[in-house]
């Protein structure tokens, strides 16, 4: 019975991972196709946020996720609003990056997320890493540098946008973990809150920056159902990708999830190269693989660091042996008038044989303050 359950769980994880890879790669290819014909990354972001807002409600009902969560207003303004801001900005710059440069290169640059996570965690949270973690950043930086120098379709705006998006997603990861831990909110509910808040916060900015330009753009045909269909498909795929990613994370360990995420990035790069056909050199591919392997090494180093910290956790200890504690006996007056009141290591006269049925004892253990394990 246990083997059947384990087999079912493994099959479920494999199915979700394959679905995740397919949905993510399709989402990136669709996104690149849309942006080539419809160069409005902010509008694409708004469609994705709208998809999260509209589609998440029925899913909560299906999965039994609590719809209403009590979050204090000061906490909301302090963490939730900045998270929503970060989500919007990171998403916009992510779309700009795949618009300006090939999907394969954009995802290679996004492999620098561990670097941003380590630096930002050190600055914001004061977290220190092991030498192995710092060492794992070297192949990531080297791989991205090689990929950048050998990228045929290089664009500076695309590179900067990918780096800004990666930094934004790193900040999101750091503070999302903090919110999830402190509020005990369901991760899908947090995704819904951030998507809805970002949608309404940036609706005026989108109207001013994109909608007015769109209305005056003569090249945009509003009867082009292909672009509209691809925009809707991109929004649904992005929402589905988030749902599957959170589902995988809830079923596996953080290390397994990190490895699966790296494998997904390789899959996305390979599919984008195959379908979109952007030209690459052997050195370019070498840089991509070096960066991805660096991310895998980083995840392993972080896992080892966590295990080492767990081993170094010291339990409370007793600074005195239990044998040093005395057992005191309350003097008892017997019918013959004698009083028994001798003590020696808890036993009368140090003789175990003295504990016989001729005497009655009223005892209590005197513990030292250092003996915390048994108190």
Instruction: For 9-49, write each residue's pLDDT tens digit.
Output: 888 889 999 999 999 999 999 999 999 888 899 999 999 99
Same domain, 339 and 278: no
Check whether 65 has a pLDDT greater than 80: no
Same domain, 41 and 126: yes
Same domain, 278 and 342: no
Same domain, 289 and 333: no
Range of the domain at 334: 322-365
* pTM, 2 dp: 0.75
Same domain, 330 and 290: no
Report residue 329's pLDDT band, with 50, 70 and 90 as the boundaries: very low
What pLDDT score does 332 carry? 52
First-residue to last-residue Cα distance in the chain? 42
In a domain, 4, yes or no: no
In a domain, 3, yes or no: no
In a domain, 167, yes or no: yes
What pLDDT score does 246 carry? 77
More confident residue, 207 or 375: 207
Could you say which of 292, 311, 330 is where a domain stops? 311
Report residue 4's pLDDT band, with 50, 70 and 90 as the boundaries: confident
Poorest-confidence range of 235-239, 334-338, 370-374?
Answer: 370-374
What pLDDT score does 159 carry? 94
Poorest-confidence range of 26-40, 46-60, 110-124, 311-325?
Answer: 311-325
Note the helical H segments in the chain: 2-37, 41-63, 73-75, 81-100, 103-109, 113-120, 131-149, 156-183, 187-201, 203-206, 212-216, 225-251, 254-276, 282-311
Same domain, 356 and 266: no
Same domain, 233 and 360: no
In a domain, 330, yes or no: yes
Find the length of the chain.
Answer: 375
Same domain, 338 and 301: no
Could you say which of 311, 332, 351 is where a domain stops? 311
CA gap 373, 243 in Å, rounded: 44
Same domain, 84 and 165: yes
In a domain, 49, yes or no: yes
- What is the average per-residue pLDDT within 222-249? 86
CA gap 87, 171 in Å, rounded: 9
In a domain, 333, yes or no: yes
Please compute, for residue 65, the number of CA atoms within 13 A of its CA located in the half-sphere on the CB side. 20
In a domain, 245, yes or no: yes
Same domain, 172 and 32: yes
More confident residue, 268 or 322: 268
CA gap 291, 296 in Å, rounded: 9
What pLDDT score does 2 carry? 63
- What is the average per-residue pLDDT within 322-351? 48
Candidates 197, 219, 165, 257; CA nearest to 69 is 197
What pLDDT score does 373 carry? 30
Looking at the 3D structure of the chain, how many domains does it have? Answer: 2
In a domain, 186, yes or no: yes
What pLDDT score does 277 carry? 84
SS3 319: coil
Tens-digit pLDDT profile for residues 259-288: 888 888 889 999 988 898 888 889 999 999
Tens-digit pLDDT profile for residues 157-204: 999 999 999 999 888 888 888 888 888 888 888 888 899 999 998 999
Same domain, 296 and 328: no
Q: C-alpha distances in angstroms, 367 versus 317, 326, 345, 352, 374? A: 13, 8, 13, 21, 9
Same domain, 328 and 301: no
């Amino acid at each position: 019975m246990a083997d059947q359950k384990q087999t079912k769980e493994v099959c479920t994880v494999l199915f979700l991972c394959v679905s995740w890879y397919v949905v993510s790669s399709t989402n990136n290819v669709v996104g690149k196709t849309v942006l080539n014909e419809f160069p409005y990354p902010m509008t694409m972001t708004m469609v994705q946020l709208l998809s999260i807002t509209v589609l998440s409600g029925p899913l909560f009902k299906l999965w039994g996720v609590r719809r209403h969560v009590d979050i204090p207003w000061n906490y909301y303004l302090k963490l939730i609003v900045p998270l929503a801001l970060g989500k919007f900005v990171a998403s916009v710059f992510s779309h700009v990056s795949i618009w300006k440069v090939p999907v394969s290169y954009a995802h290679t640059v996004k492999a620098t997320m561990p670097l941003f996570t380590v630096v930002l965690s050190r600055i914001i949270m004061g977290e220190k890493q092991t030498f192995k973690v710092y060492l794992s950043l070297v192949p990531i930086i080297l791989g991205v540098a090689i990929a950048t120098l050998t990228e045929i379709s290089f664009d500076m705006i695309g590179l900067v946008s990918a780096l800004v998006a990666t930094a934004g997603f790193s900040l999101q990861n750091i503070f999302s973990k903090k919110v999830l831990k402190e509020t005990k909110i369901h991760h899908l509910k947090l995704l819904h809150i951030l998507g809805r808040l970002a949608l309404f916060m940036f609706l005026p900015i989108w109207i001013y920056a994109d909608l007015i330009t769109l209305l005056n753009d003569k090249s945009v045909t509003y009867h082009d159902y292909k672009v509209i269909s691809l925009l809707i498909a991109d929004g649904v795929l992005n929402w589905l990708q988030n749902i599957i990613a959170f589902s995988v994370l809830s079923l596996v360990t953080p290390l397994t999830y990190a490895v699966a995420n790296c494998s997904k990035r390789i899959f996305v790069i390979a599919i984008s190269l195959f379908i979109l056909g952007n030209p690459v050199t052997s050195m370019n591919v070498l840089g991509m693989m070096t960066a991805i392997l660096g991310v895998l090494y980083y995840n392993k180093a972080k896992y080892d660091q966590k295990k080492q910290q767990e081993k170094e956790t010291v339990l409370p200890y007793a600074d005195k042996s239990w044998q040093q504690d005395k057992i005191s006996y309350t003097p008892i007056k017997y019918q013959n008038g004698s009083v028994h009141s001798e003590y020696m290591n808890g036993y009368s006269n140090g003789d175990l044989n003295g504990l016989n049925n001729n005497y009655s004892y009223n005892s209590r253990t005197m513990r030292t303050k250092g003996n915390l394990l048994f108190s």
